[in-house]
Structure 1
Amino acid sequence: MTQDTTRPSPGLPTLGLGTAPFGNLYTATTDEEAAATVDAAWAAGVRYFDTAPHYGVGLAERRLGAALAGRPRDEYVLSTKVGRLLVPDPGGAGRQDDQGFAVEATTVRRWDFSRDGVLRSLEQSLERLGVDRVDVVYLHDPDAHWAEASTTGVAALVELRDQGVVRAIGAGMNRSAMLTRFVRETDVDLVLCAGRYTLLEQGAEDDLLPAALERGVGVVVGGVYNSGLLSTRRPPADAQYDYAAAPPEVVARANRIADVCEAHGVTLPEVATVFPQRHPAVVSTLLGLRDPGQVAEGVARAATVVPDAVWTDLEAAGLLRRTATTPES
């Protein structure tokens, strides 16, 4: 790991590329498709790339590193995560990974938020990525590991930050309450909140977002489509929500939101993509994109000018919390 004696802000762009699809999330992709996706994102001006060992048990990191190879390292921001060590398991040959990725189970994940585990995880990530540094490191999904993650895990990341090895540290998960504890009780710079601050649900406004503003911690928002429910003009009958089949009442609510969007000439996924950036605590939005077509679509959605009447009509219909669209208050 190289060291930098300064501690600059990571300067996160407002739009980033999430690489879970590079790890064959739900369905397989290829090295060539991953490379083409990064090429398209780069050409479109995307300069923030987020990954994790969990995504395809290292496959996403390897593919992202290969796709970024040769590009000036100072021209993009790179984040990865720690908390799951990858351990070879030859006995898994012929079996499918059981955590949602279309990869062979010859590598397993072991939870480890100890100092040694954090350092080993980062070293292994750097090797897979083929770089000498990352800019941001998040503790990944510490849901059942608060005691260790908030003590030895954060302490190890603070040590790396103080040494100039990384520029910013934080935690990433899909529970706003625990992220709020990280903001209030530990020395983090950023948190990555997936699925809890979206056009469909704004629970993070009750805890995380005000705490982040108060403490000067940036919030990166992921999962803006709530597992795909908001990713099309109309949610399909088999729509997913929060990594499971969407309940009928949730699908109905998404359709009511889509009605309002369409009445003003915009689409459900366009409004869902723009929505998080309305809050002053949100510094960046991550979109998990699988191919160049999705990149073009995602970048266009992020640039959509949403009429103010969309927000006011959603509020009037009880489909959006009023506080969600009035950050200046």
Structure 2
Amino acid sequence: MHRRKIPHTPVELTDLGFGASVIGNLYRVTPADDATAAVNTAWDAGIRYFDTAPHYGLGLSERRLGAALRDRPREEYVISSKVGRLLVPNEHPRGVDTEGFVVRDDLRRQWDFSRDGVLRSIEDTLERTGLDRLDIVYLHDPDDHWHQAADEAMPTLAELRDQGVIAAIGAGMNQSALLARFLRETAADVVMLAGRYTLLDQSALDDVLPAAQAHGKSVVAVGVFNSGLLSQDRPAEGMKYDYQDAPTDLVARAQAIAQVCEAHGTTLPAAAIAFPHTHPSIINVTLGMRTAKQVGRNVQLHDQRVPDALWDELRTQGLIRSDVLAGRDGGRDAQCR
């Protein structure tokens, strides 16, 4: 796979990344052997960027990912985790986590973007993963915590970066406007943008992507299937969009995009993966991968030919914004994997 560098850092990311939220038992149990097989299959396919967080399965994702990577050459891969949700003892457990992960709730999440919280969170992550360092650390969903995140957490991460403890810093969110502020107003090197630069939502063109270009910073795109609506060749009623049932008009638009994809010899999910790479500031697309089979499918979709003419026709038909860049004008040729 191609690699692209986060400017002003030593960090290089492969085009495709492994999102480890699902191996933290997101929505359903993932057997440990399946999780390990998924990581191993990703490695064999050339994926060298792996993302996790304490939030994912109350630490289960970090433990599983660290164990699967522990015997791999440390200099050959990039791992990121997140801060902002400390895991603390749960004084009133009910048996199962209530935030989407099928795990015991002996721990609970506690919002904390303070300096001490950041340092403790990183130390806890290193202990859970068993690794000696993290390459990228993101602030995790600081939507309601701008002041503490910008004034305490980000300077703490910048200090650790300047000391060489971590290599790059940033923030990850489901919105683009506040991520643009992190790029413009803080020491962030990279942001993780969820769902806001996809075939169905190009709102990041109004804020975070211009900010990244103006300041020479990078964007990692996640949520490119918008919770599922873009994940199948033929979208249908009842599929999810941004964690909710997809509105009828969006299902119709996804179906129209799928027809154009088919006419150009490709598929909707392959185009959904290729699309973010049309922008020069987006250096990676990371997908959640639960099993070896899912990894194989995602890699196959990533490798599928997506012609630049597709973007031209989608713009002409008004199915994507007119200011979307073409593949060769963007980060890389969408056909060149």
The residue number in structure 2 matching 1:21 is 22
User: How far apart, CA to CA, are the structure 2 residues paired with 1:8 and 1:256?
Assistant: 41
Give the corresponding residue for 1:113. 113
Shift of 1:8: 4.3
8 Å contact from structure 1 (residues 183, 217) kept in 2:
yes
User: Partner letter of residue 264 of structure 2?
Assistant: H
Query: Where do residues 148-163 of structure 1 align in structure 2 (5 Å cutoff)?
Result: 148-163=148-163
Q: Does 1:87 align with 2:88?
A: yes
TM-score (norm 2): 0.93
* Poorly superposed stretches of 4+, deviation over 6 Å: none
2:132 pairs with 1:104: no
SS of the aligned residue for 1:138 comes to strand
For the Cα contact (< 8 Å) 2:311–2:326, is it kept in 1? no
Query: In 2, distance between residues paired with 1:241 and 1:192?
Result: 19
Q: Report the counterpart of residue 240 of structure 1 in structure 2.
A: 240
Q: Partners of 1:294 and 1:62 in 2: how far apart? A: 20
Q: 1:73 and 2:81 equivalent?
A: no
Aligned to 1:37: 38
Q: Who is 2:326 aligned against? A: 326
The alpha-carbon deviation at position 309 of structure 1 amounts to 2.5
- Contact 2:78 / 2:135 at 8 angstroms: preserved in 1? yes
1:165-314 matches, within 5 Å, as 165-314=165-314
| Structure 2 unaligned regions, length at least 5 | 1-7, 331-337
User: Any idea what the Cα deviations from partners look like across 1:59-95, whole Å, max 9, x if unmatched?
Assistant: 100010111111111110010000000012153142x
| Matched residue type, 2:56 | Y
CA distance in structure 1 between the aligned counterparts of 2:241 and 2:84, rounded to whole angstroms: 25
Superposition RMSD in Å:
1.3
One-letter amino acid of the structure 1 residue matched with residue 188 of structure 2: V
- Alignment match, 2:333: none
Encode CA deviations 1:89-144: one digit per residue, 9 max, x unaligned.
153142x2111111122211000000000000000000111101010000000000
Give 3-state SS (helix, strand or coil) of 2:226's partner: coil
Q: Give the length in aligned residue pairs.
A: 322
Worse overlay, 43-52 or 307-316:
307-316
Q: Secondary structure at the match of 1:91?
A: coil
User: Any conservation in 2 of the 1:141–1:173 contact (CA below 8 Å)?
Assistant: yes
CA distance in 1, matches of 2:9, 2:234: 42
Checking the alignment, whether the CA contact within 8 Å between 2:308 and 2:326 is kept in structure 1 is: no
Separation (CA, whole Å) in 2 of partners of 1:116 and 1:231:
40
Local SS of the residue matching 1:165: coil
TM-score (norm 1): 0.95
The residue number in structure 2 matching 1:4 is none
> d(CA) in 1 for partners of 2:165 and 2:288?
27
Q: Structure 1 unaligned segments of length 5 or more: list them.
A: 1-6
Match of 1:322, SS state, is: coil
Question: Could you tell me which residue of structure 1 aligns to residue 5 of structure 2?
Answer: none
AA aligned opposite 1:215: H
Deviation at 1:237, TM superposition (A): 2.4
Alignment partners' CA distance in 1, 2:244 and 2:120: 33
1:50-65 superposed matches below 5 A: 50-65=51-66
Helix, strand or coil at the partner of 1:108: strand
Paired residue type of 1:280? P
